[in-house]
Structure 1
C-alpha cells in the first residue's frame, strides 16, 4: 500500500525518461545508481525549461548536499520512467525536491526520494539566495 502523498497525483511536474539498454545491470533491472541520474534529469530539465536556468553561464548554481532514494519496485529496459517532481521545502538558499519514479502508466512509484540543492555563487561556492526566476518556478511545485 502506498501513502497518498506518494501516488502519481501528488507530483506537479512529470518528465518521461526512456530507459536505455545500458541502464540495466547483470540482474536484468535498472541499476540503483541510475535512479539518481533520473532524479538529476527531472530536476534540471524543470529548472532549465520553467526557470530559465542557464547551466553553462549562470552566476548562481545549485549543488547537491543530500540525496535519498527508497526502492520499491524494479524498473527495466525498455520501460519508460515517468519522473514526478514536487518541492517539499523551500528556504532562502536551499530547496528540497521530492521525486517519484513511476513505470509508465503505473499509479504507485517504483522509487521515491529527495534531492537537496544549496544555491551558491559559482565563483566563490558561497551560499546565496535562490534567484527570483528559479524561486518562482519552485514555488509552483511547493506542497503544503
Structure 2
C-alpha cells in the first residue's frame, strides 16, 4: 500500500512490525454488545508500548528522570475482538525525534495454526518530560536505544518477549 503526500502507509501484517507484544483480553474488556469496547484498544496500545520498553531496556521506566507522556493516540478498527481472544500488538516507530516518539501499532488476534488477523491499527505519541517539572526534555538514552530497534527498515529484527 502506498501513501499519498501527508498520509502514512498503513502496515497490515505482523511481519511489518519489528516487535510483537502479547496481550490477553479480559472478561471485563467486553461491553454490553459482547465485544471489546473501543476504549480498551487504547489500553492495549499503552500496555504494549510500556511493557515492551521495560522488557527491552531492563529498566523500570517509571523511575527515570524523564517520562513519556501520551500526547496523541488514534485507532482504526478493522475487525472486532472479544474475550477470550489472545492478541499480539505489533510495534514499530514511525518517527524518532529528540523529545518524542511516534509509534505505529497494530492489534492482531491469534487464531489456530498461529495465524494473526488484523483487528486494529493505531498511532501513539510519547513526548518526554522531566518527571518533576513536566517540562519537555530529551528522550532518555535507554529509551532512545530501544526505540531505534523499532524504526521501520532498521533491520533490527524481532524483539518478542520470552
- Report the TM-score range of the alignment, normalised by the length of the smaller protein: over 0.9
- 2:24 is the counterpart of 1:24: no
Q: Superposed, which structure 2 residues align to 1:24-43 within 5 Å?
A: 24-43=30-49
Gaps of 5+ in 2: 2-8, 154-162
What SS does the corresponding residue of 1:41 show, helix, strand or coil? helix
C-alpha contact (below 8 Å) 2:107/2:118 kept by paired residues? yes
Work out the CA distance in 1 between the residues paired with 2:88 and 2:66: 29
RMSD (Å), alpha carbons: 1.7
C-alpha contact (below 8 Å) 2:53/2:61 kept by paired residues? no
CA distances 1:54-106 after superposition (whole Å, capped 9, x unpaired): 24421110000000000010000011011111111000000001110000144
Once the two structures are TM-superposed, the CA of residue 26 in structure 1 deviates from its matched residue by 0.8
Gaps of 5+ in 1: none
Work out the CA distance in 2 between the residues paired with 1:55 and 1:140: 17
C-alpha contact (below 8 Å) 1:52/1:134 kept by paired residues? no
Work out the CA distance in 2 between the residues paired with 1:113 and 1:60: 24
If the length of structure 2 is used for normalisation, what is the TM-score? 0.83
Q: Superposed, which structure 2 residues align to 1:45-84 within 5 Å?
A: 45-84=51-90
Aligned length: 143
C-alpha contact (below 8 Å) 1:24/1:30 kept by paired residues? yes
If the length of structure 1 is used for normalisation, what is the TM-score? 0.93
2:6 matched residue in structure 1 = none
